Chain A
Amino acid sequence: MYGATVEPIEDAQTDDNRLREFEARIARGEKIEPGDWMPDEYRRQLIRMISQHAHSEIVGMLPEGTFITRAPTLRRKLILLAKVQDEGGHGQYLYHAAETLGATREDMLDALLSGRAKYSSIFNYPALSWADMGAIGWLVDGAAILNQTMLAKCSYGPYARAMKRICAEENFHKRQGQDIVITLATGTPEQKVMMQDAINRWWWPTLMMFGPHDTDSPNSAVLIRWGIKTKTNDELRQMFINQTVPELLALGLTIPDPDLRYDEESGNWRIGPINWDEFWQVVKGNGPCNQERMDARRRAHEDGRWVREALAAYAEKQSGT
């Protein structure tokens, strides 16, 4: 296991040199590895991002998880169960990546359960019908892939490698979502209505997943400077819109945005204003399912306490004999 590295107190001159060397390494495209010197702020930002990302995977198991028992064919059931299981696996790689920076699983879990840590707000929206499995797979995982593809090139080695592995699986998740959307959009009239309703509900929250506009994103500048992010929130959001809008329209689905139009000059699809009030309300904990998601996580943690205690006691007895 990786413990926290204790930084010796150095004079400012040495730190300046180290910072210069660190930034030069990033500029050369080198990866920063766990034992390497790094500024405290780099470590802090990475722990924040990676642990949030891990929490998002774990909480993200919940909305789709409710449909595992209801998946309408054997094949869909096996795929959905495997997908939700993958999300748990992603959470696990990411917690390990954060541990390489000195964070511990216990602290990270405690931060999640006490509400100190955030997770992606998208999972505070409810999954109401089977069509939501399509919308989540295509839109939510599709949006996540754009973000993660960027992070797979980030300057911190363990995070970049975790992202590479996760992206490969996420692409499969997105395809299963697309497959559900296509099946329903080309199915019975009732199925089309069901699918359109899911798109209507998931479209705007998905666009919000990329985070605030660049002008309102406090962490962006430092993250870009140190090669953690290489694209801004708005750039990624625009990529997603350009990629997704024509595909949904081609299926005869509509986008719930009266202002949506194609801008010939730039080749971009332009959207209407995003409701940032809603975004901040959900971030602050007032979304439709914030309470429910946290309750589910806390209940699992509380109900599992005796199990974890038994594991610890058993391990201790084994090592004593």
Chain B
Amino acid sequence: MTNELHNALADYLLALADDELILGHRDSEWCGHAPILEEDIAFANIALDEIGHAGVWYRLVADLRDERPETYPDQLIYFREMADYRSAPLVELPKGDWALTMLRQYLFDALESVRLERLAASAYPPLAEADAKIRTEELYHLRHTTAWVRRLGLGTEESRRRMQAALETLWPYALQMIEQPSAELVEAGYVPAEDDLRHAWEDMVIPHLQDSGLDVPHQTILPPFDRQRHTEHLSALLDEMQSVARLIPDARW
């Protein structure tokens, strides 16, 4: 692999990792506050998996950058500034109500599932191996959130109204969350192309949203987006997440 490909792949995986970390953080905010006890447990489990997956991707980034996989993930999580984060706005948005949380998780899980399906065949073997570990967990998430979208979409008038509002808020952001890898990375067979992922994702989510009684917003032209720009919510999130780790210089925790 050339150096350029190395770097491009590391950047791609960093974006995946940051999305999982930040979404896991938002999900974990529900722990102890969910609408039913069973969901306190199930949703904490989803948060746990997402944050765990972030760790898997960060370790791959460490390998690609010749950093130590034991310490580099913490360095990335706790000592990176906001401008160096590569998360998408979708995952940065505050947790909102249960409809927004559940719908965001569903849209994300659907993308993960189509992406993981393709990464299983990645020409970069460590990526294909990591993929195999994560896929079963993601399958469970997708099943869980797919069922919730349906229940809330077809539940009561209020639940449908909240889901529709959440969908309108999230839809433009959801279209932005699909990574745009360099042409070289795609050609080398390391990662799937953006339009391939987008079509597969749309084929999965649009019929399900419609079957769940929701009106999918018309696709609009997206504002230019790159992963160096963030919502203002990320700053507060990072302040909180990094607060203890940065309390005492050079301390071990």
Task: List residues of A whose CB falls within 8 A of some B CB.
Answer: 58, 61-62, 65, 67-74, 76-78, 81-82, 84-85, 88-89, 91-92, 95, 130, 183-184, 187-188, 190-191, 296, 299-300, 303-311, 313-314, 317
Given contacts A74-B51, A88-B41, A61 and B31 within 8 Å (CB-CB) = yes
Q: Give min CB distance, A13 to chain B, whole Å.
A: 44
B221-253 contacts to A (CB < 8 Å): 240-241, 243-245, 247-248, 250-253
Sampled A-B contacts (8; CB under 8 Å): A85-B40, A85-B48, A88-B37, A92-B37, A130-B244, A183-B252, A314-B150, A314-B152
Contact of A89 (CB < 8 Å), options: B35, B41, B150, B243: B41
Chain B residues, Cβ within 8 Å of A70: 240-241, 243-244
In the assembly, what is the distance between CA of A84 and CA of B37, in Å? 12
Nearest Cβ in chain B — how far from A124, in angstroms? 15
Report how far A299 CA is from B51 CA in the complex, Å: 26
A307 touches B25 (CB 8 A): no
Contact residue among A130, A184, A314 (Cβ-Cβ distance under 8 Å from B151): A314
Known contacts A84-B32, A303-B97; is-contact A74 B55 (Cβ 8 Å): yes
Add 15 more A-B contacts to A190-B251, A307-B35, A314-B150 (CB < 8 A): A58-B37, A61-B40, A73-B74, A73-B253, A78-B51, A78-B55, A81-B28, A81-B47, A84-B31, A85-B44, A88-B32, A303-B33, A308-B36, A310-B152, A314-B151
- Which partner residue on chain B sits nearest A130 by CB separation? B244
Whether B172 is near chain A, meaning CB under 8 Å from some CB there, is: no
The chain B residues found within 8 Å of chain A, CB to CB, are 25, 28-29, 31-38, 40-41, 44-45, 47-48, 51-52, 54-55, 58, 73-74, 77-78, 97-98, 150-152, 154-156, 158-159, 162, 240-241, 243-245, 247-248, 250-253
> Which of B25, B58, B156 lies in contact with A313, CB distance below 8 A?
B156
Known contacts: A82-B48, A88-B32, A92-B38. The answer to whether A314 contacts B253 by CB under 8 A is no
Answer whether A74 and B151 are a contact pair too, CB < 8 Å, given A65-B32, A68-B31.
no
Chain A residues touching B, majority SS: helix
- Chain A residues within an 8 Å CB radius of B37: 58, 88, 91-92, 95
Question: Residue on A with the closest CB to B40?
Answer: A88
Known A-B contacts A314-B151, A314-B154; the reply to A85 vs B41 at CB < 8 A is: yes
The one of A61, A308, A313 in contact with B32, judged by C-beta atoms closer than 8 angstroms, is A61
Say whether A317 contacts B48, CB under 8 Å. no
Query: Which A residues lie within 8 Å of B247 (CB)?
Result: 72, 130, 190
A121 to B23, CA, bound (A): 33
The distance from the CB of A320 to the nearest CB of chain B, in whole angstroms, is 12
Contact status A309-B28, CB under 8 Å: no
CA distance A36 to B207 in the complex (A): 52
A306 touches B251 (CB 8 A): no
Q: Which of B51, B155, B251 contacts A188 (CB 8 A)?
A: B251
Residues of A within 8 A of B78 (CB): 72-73
